[in-house]
A and B are shown apart, each in its own frame.
Chain A
Amino acid sequence: MQQHATPASAAVDLDKCAQEPIRIPGAIQPFGALLLLVPAELRILAASANVADVVGLPLGAGDVLAASHDDGWSRIHEAIKAWSEGTDPSLSLVADVRDRRLQVTGSRGAQGLLVEFEPIDRDRSTTLDALYPQLRTFLDDLDPAGNSDVILQRTAAELRRLTGFDRVLVYRFDSDGHGTVVAEDGNGVLPVYLNHRFPASDIPRQARELYCLNRIRLIPDAGYAPVPLQPAFLGPDARPIDLTHAVWRSVSPIHLEYMRNMGTQSSMSVSLVVDGELWGLLSCHSARAHHVDPQVRAASEFLGRIVAHQIGANERIAEHAHRIELKKVEVELVELLSHADTLQEGFKGRAPAWMSLLDAQGVALVWQDEILTIGTTPTGAQIGRIVDWLGDQDVEQTYATDHLVGQWPDAEAFADVASGLAAASISRLHKSFLLWFRPQVVRTVSWRGNPHKAVDPVSGRLHPRKSFDLWQEQVRNRAIPWRRSELEALRDFRNVVVNLILKRAEERAELTAQLERSNVELESFSYSVSHDLRAPFRHIAGFAELLKRREGDLDETSTHYIDNIVQAAVTAGRLVDDLLRFSHLGRAALAPQLLDMDKIVAEVRQAIELNRPGVRWMIEPLPAAHGDAKYIRQVWYNLLENAVKYSSGRRTPEVRVRGAEGDACTIYTVEDNGVGFDMAYVGKLFGVFQRLHHHDDFEGTGIGLALCKRIVEKHGGWIKGEGAVDLGARFSFALPAQ
């Protein structure tokens, strides 16, 4: 039953190590004695086998602690009793029992009160009072805003001075669990490990958890013989005794072998816990056995807590400062985006800001099927594959890695530019991402021992490290890791971008709805107009005509007046018709087809000739073009009618029609020899109700050319007019090639 406690059972395989019950070793180190007591009652549930040796009293399981004739012991008994009935989590006192001085410490557990006794050397021991000025000086000298490396270096030196170990390492864990020695102080007895890395397997997961709970652990002599607990198990279900909080809990035999392999006979570790996480360790070693007094241990633990606090504060300050820097960039980008019409347009502006937001060498925007890049990035095809891969990973918001190849071996093809990837998904609907890339940074890592060989390839066992020789490794396919502040910036920025996109979509939807509303209104308006506005003109014209027919003997002036009434009403009616036609065009859907322009022009000419004969027509063969027959016919009608109208004063009015096919469009021209117009007013030519001639000279509603322009532009083409007063006019319009 005591196999856990004996170094002889050191051959533990990997599975067992992972499960190794380091909290319940069933034994303690021989440098103290332990009692497990029932609270209040103070009956002993279990005792280490060395209680009589250490305390000098023959105590064992079943006994009840009681006062004795010894004053010192009575004081201890009183203190334990008082603590037991109170709520303090721990107990600490020093008392002399007979000839020996004892440090008594206590902690509460689910199974009872753990009380430990540790003999103190009266001559060598020190007190916290004596240590305090030294600690205070150290703390006073700590610069709260100082460089972390300096703080850690000074901590190592201070701890070594305090404890007298040969060497103190400050060990920092990375996200993979590997440790790096980031500061060191030593007397030259033990090798220098500064900047070396130790594989994660050196400190198994459950050991790290224990480091968080119990902040200091001393092994004065790795060659110790464990002292068993009696009994080792409690109750009918034989539960082992939980020694998590015991000062002298016996450590794992693997760890002792590790120490011996490392050439250290004694060790002490002080946990550096930052924000509840094991940030690192202050790891002290000596080549020989080395004991550290309880007071010094307490001071060391205190030092560890202060330093951890300082590290946490420094990191937070650094991250905040960095975060503020990033925020400035973020604000710059958000402002840029909020003024840009589209995300793509915003992306094209201010490349440096996009890169510096996440300190990247390249950035890509993947928006639907479009890929835009800034700086050094993988190729478009590779970015496409990255996006597909991200899609497969179900990345809902953000993703970041400094080792893409580790997640996705195919990424090695572009590891030189994109070992580091930070991605923000900006649309779930159609795989749209913002991607930041960091290049591969090849570096050489000096390992103490080969981290890839912690497990024996033959036996599959985890074997305690025998070699701490330098083992150098070229680390490839890795980028500089993303900082916490950068990941926060990534998340924040993603939210902003997503909100911008949503806002823009909402605005678009709102605008569309407004347009639809006003279209509906306009339509019902023009519908009413077409019905109600035409009728009165018809009535005026109708009754005037009836009047004229009825009164056959009207004088000339009266007839003239009536004719004018009729004419005005008819013109007003036409105006309504033209306006309606013009407004209809806005919402009409075109039905383009290949148009036989020769035929259309011939038909239009025929219609015009009925009313205005005597024109000399010169119509060349016309190329075909695509367009809506009904509307293009209207264009021809208006242009040809205008040409005839404005040349009607000539002796021989001439109208010439030509067409030419270009690469992008087909251009048609209508020329006349009429009154022309002043090019100074060419800007007014195509406006609604714009007329360049007096009504009296040429009738018209002033909508014809506006209608032509609207039709042609709706087809994607253009129209222009050229002319000179009395020298005729030339109108050209172009229809785009299909």
Chain B
Amino acid sequence: MEKVKELRPILLVEDSANDVELTLAALAQCNIANEVVVVRDGAQALDYVYRQGEYASRSPGDPAVILLDLKLPKIDGLEVLARLKADPHQQQIPVVMLTSSREERDVVRSYRLGVNSFVVKPVEFAEFFEAIQNLGMFWAILNQPPPMLGERASKRPGTDTP
């Protein structure tokens, strides 16, 4: 149970209810135990990360990974990415661009902004499933996340060494 507690949540930023549902279905099928927090636009995503607005009272801790859609209401994905990666306190959070777009310029801009991975959602469901599952497995389970700022401040032995 202690291990479960340490699992950080996955932040899914997606405005399309269909995509949210499909993504959650895919993640559920690969037995990822991490909590998935769903927000519906860029502003909410930033609120979550910075623990402000409706997320002002959430418990501290960075998400294991942010699955970020590119086209979002209010503040779009690229801007969310740009703000996070420009902030020395947040830039270590892995961000995966998850998008419908095959637009080359989006890919180029995302990587320039420091995205950790860029995934085009395939139309074929099997592939989509596979992609989501791989992402979930890699970022939520396999990847050793960077220490959280709070943790670094009061470092507990044994937490971030394998």
The chain A residues found within 8 Å of chain B, CB to CB, are 527, 530-532, 534-535, 537-539, 541-546, 566, 569-570, 573-574, 577, 580, 584
Contacts and interface: CB of A to CB of B under 8 A. Distances in A.
Contact of B22 (A534, A543, A577, A584): A543
Contacts of A580: 102
Contacts of A584: 104
Contacts of B22: 538-539, 542-543, 546
Interface centre among A535, A542, A543 (most CB of B within 10 A): A542
A607 B80 CA distance: 37
A77 to B, nearest CB: 105
B160 interface: no
Interface string B81-114: 0000000000000000001111110000000000
A545 B100 contact: no
Interface stretch (B39-47, B50-58, B122-130): B122-130
Contacts of B122: 538
Interface residues of B, number: 21
B100 A530 contact: yes
Contacts of B124: 541, 570, 573
B105 to A, nearest CB: 9
A691 to B, nearest CB: 21
B102 A541 contact: no
Contact of A531 (B18, B25, B99, B125): B99
B70 interface: yes
Contacts of B8: none
Contacts of A539: 16, 18-19, 22
A148 B70 CA distance: 89
A569 B100 contact: no
Contacts of A566: 125
5 contacts: A527-B101, A534-B123, A538-B121, A541-B125, A580-B102
Contacts of B101: 527, 530-531
Contacts of B70: 531
Contacts of B16: 535, 539
B128 A542 contact: yes
Contacts of A570: 123-124
A633 B126 CA distance: 26
A566 to B, nearest CB: 7
B100 A534 contact: yes
Interface string B47-74: 0000000000000000000000011000
A537 B22 CA distance: 13
A543 B123 CA distance: 11
A583 to B, nearest CB: 12
Contacts of A543: 18, 22
B25 A546 contact: yes
A535 B18 contact: yes
A57 B104 CA distance: 115
B19 to A, nearest CB: 7
Contacts of B99: 531
Interface string B1-27: 000000000000000101100100100
B123 A569 contact: yes
Contact of A535 (B100, B104, B126): B100
Contacts of B102: 530, 577, 580
A610 to B, nearest CB: 15
Given A527-B101, A538-B19, 18 more contacts: A530-B100, A530-B101, A530-B103, A531-B101, A532-B100, A535-B19, A535-B100, A538-B22, A538-B123, A538-B128, A539-B16, A541-B125, A542-B18, A542-B25, A546-B22, A566-B125, A569-B123, A577-B102
B47 to A, nearest CB: 24
Contacts of A537: 123
Nearest to A569: B123
The 8 residue pairs across chains A and B that have the minimum distance between CB atoms:
A573-B123, A545-B125, A539-B18, A542-B22, A542-B125, A534-B100, A531-B100, A541-B125
A541 B18 contact: no
Nearest to B126: A545
Contacts of A531: 70-71, 99-101, 103
Nearest to A538: B123
A566 B128 CA distance: 13
A275 to B, nearest CB: 71
Residue among A531, A532, A538, A544 having the largest count of chain B Cβ atoms under 10 Å: A538
A329 B121 CA distance: 69
Contacts of B126: 545
A532 B128 CA distance: 17
Contacts of A532: 71, 100
A529 to B, nearest CB: 10
A539 B21 CA distance: 10
A420 B140 CA distance: 89
A604 to B, nearest CB: 20
Nearest to B99: A531
